[in-house]
Amino acid sequence: MQRTTTVSDPRVRSRRSLPGLFILFGLVLAGCASDAELDTLKPQSETARQIDDLLDPVLAIAGVVLVLVCGAVAWLGWKNRVSSYEGDDEFPEQMAHNNTLEILMTGVPAIIMVVVAVMTLTTHLDINSYDDANAMPVVVEGASTDWEPKIVVVGNQWWWEFRYYFGEDVTADSLGSDMKNLPPADIVTSGQMVIPTGQEVELLVTSRDVIHSFWIPALNGKRDARPGFFAPWKIEADNPGVYFGQCTEFCGLSHARMRMQTIAMTPDDFQAWIDHQVQPATDPTGDAALRGKDAFVANCSGCHLIEGVNGSEDIRAAVESGAAPNLTHFASRTTFAGGILFTYNEDGTFNRDDVARWLREPEVVKDNAANDLPDGTLPRGMPNLGLSERTISDLVAYLETLGPRPTDEIIADSEVE
């Protein structure tokens, strides 16, 4: 969706008419790569546009100043150059100070900065104000309720969890201060945050271990996820689509492999998504999948939760963050392993190879600190469980049943070309 911006977009055109090397430089070059999924200059929401509208004129001013200063250096250097002082007794005028000029040289930058400051403050206050009257009706397991859209975003080494509470209004107080023991939520998902379009959604961003940073560039700036604190933030999207993100606060070994996406759906599709996400997992059919379910209980259920199989409450996983992704609707998500692998192939079939690879040797697929640990330390990341090939193929068969399968459009949009 956000990839479809073309040069015919009037916003892009108007930018090009602005002066300034900076912008031309940035934009022409950014334009070279139309597939830049994380591009900060292609806003797809009101907030991101406000940020962009603040940056654009300042980039233009900066571009002008840049051209003036660098131009002055080059021009003065060219015009006033001499090849040597040898035998030259003529000195230029010894101008050591000039009050008018010096006042101007202090005053003009100061005035420019005052203008920039006013623009900044206005935007800053705007994007930090939250819409309190944005409740939307949702139906959760047959009961309709007014939901003040709010999602709890939890960083873990090295994946993101998203928690939806429909029943009550969640606040930092109601969530408590123990990030490893949050109140049970109606929906717990990971890697991909689903939001309704045209709706401001408040985020409460936190972490269970180190500091991470949640960032979907097309929709808003970033917010650090820090343990012990719920940082308020918000997100919204104009149009349905898949919007890419990347953890941006260095969080240790696999920081580079900690990605996330926000999927915006129309309110109707969002309601449909809620309808199946609140259900427990359906029982599989087929021998391999049934064996896989048993294998899950035997090997995985100590850390991962599949509702309807090993309980309905969060599981305190034996890893440093205390949590592992909830797999109840694993196959309804198009990415896994912290957002770096795709659940479906380009032709839309289930990506058995990568799921198997992840189960076989997670430490090779993604750097982690989960094996051969010193005494007294907990794993960080998915450990290699030494599963047999047979068990792996059974588990893959079972995981494939944990749908429902997302739409072809979402599958296609969520993969990097």
Given the complex with another protein, which of 41 and 295 has the nearer CB atom?
41
What six digits make up the tokens of 126?
A: 């705007």
Q: Which of 46, 44, 49 is nearest to 15 (CA)?
A: 49
Given the complex with another protein, which of 74 and 272 has the nearer CB atom?
74
Q: To the nearest whole angstrom, how small is the minimum distance from the Cβ of residue 100 to another protein?
A: 12
Length of the chain equals: 417
- Over 321-353, what HEC string results? CCCCCCCCCHHHCCEECCCCEECECCCCCECHH
Its sign, for the CA torsion 102, 108, 110, 111, is positive
Q: To the nearest whole angstrom, how small is the minimum distance from the Cβ of residue 42 to another protein?
A: 10
Q: Residue 8 gets which letter from DSSP?
A: T
User: How large is the angle between the packed helices 10-17 and 21-32, nearest 10 degrees?
Assistant: 140
Q: To the nearest whole angstrom, how small is the minimum distance from the Cβ of residue 82 to another protein?
A: 5
What six digits make up the tokens of 120?
A: 């900044």
Q: To the nearest whole angstrom, how small is the minimum distance from the Cβ of residue 128 to another protein?
A: 4
Q: To the nearest whole angstrom, how small is the minimum distance from the Cβ of residue 329 to another protein?
A: 25
CA–CA gap between residue 228 and residue 169 (Å, rounded): 20
- Single-letter amino acid, residue 343: T
Given the complex with another protein, which of 293 and 380 has the nearer CB atom?
380
Q: To the nearest whole angstrom, how small is the minimum distance from the Cβ of residue 320 to another protein?
A: 6
Given the complex with another protein, which of 158 and 270 has the nearer CB atom?
158
Query: Using an 8 Å Cβ cutoff, are 357 and 393 in contact?
Result: no
Q: To the nearest whole angstrom, how small is the minimum distance from the Cβ of residue 268 to another protein?
A: 30
Q: To the nearest whole angstrom, how small is the minimum distance from the Cβ of residue 201 to another protein?
A: 17
Q: To the nearest whole angstrom, how small is the minimum distance from the Cβ of residue 141 to another protein?
A: 34
What six digits make up the tokens of 65?
A: 């100043």
Query: Using an 8 Å Cβ cutoff, are 217 and 40 in contact?
Result: yes
Given the complex with another protein, which of 104 and 298 has the nearer CB atom?
104
Given the complex with another protein, which of 122 and 266 has the nearer CB atom?
122
User: Which runs of consecutive H residues, i.e. helices, occur in 220-286?
Assistant: 267-277
Given the complex with another protein, which of 8 and 84 has the nearer CB atom?
84
Given the complex with another protein, which of 139 and 253 has the nearer CB atom?
253
Q: To the nearest whole angstrom, how small is the minimum distance from the Cβ of residue 276 to another protein?
A: 30
- Hey, how many other C-beta atoms are within 10 angstroms of the C-beta on 131? 14
Helix (H, G, I), strand (E, B) or coil at 225: strand
Given the complex with another protein, which of 47 and 393 has the nearer CB atom?
47
Query: Using an 8 Å Cβ cutoff, are 252 and 157 in contact?
Result: yes
Q: Which residues are CB-contacts of 98 (< 8 A; sequence separation ≥ 6)? A: none
Counting beta carbons within 10 angstroms of the beta carbon of residue 128, is it exposed (0 to 12), middle (13 to 18) or buried (19 or more)? exposed
Given the complex with another protein, which of 59 and 263 has the nearer CB atom?
59
Element (H, E) at 151: strand 150-156
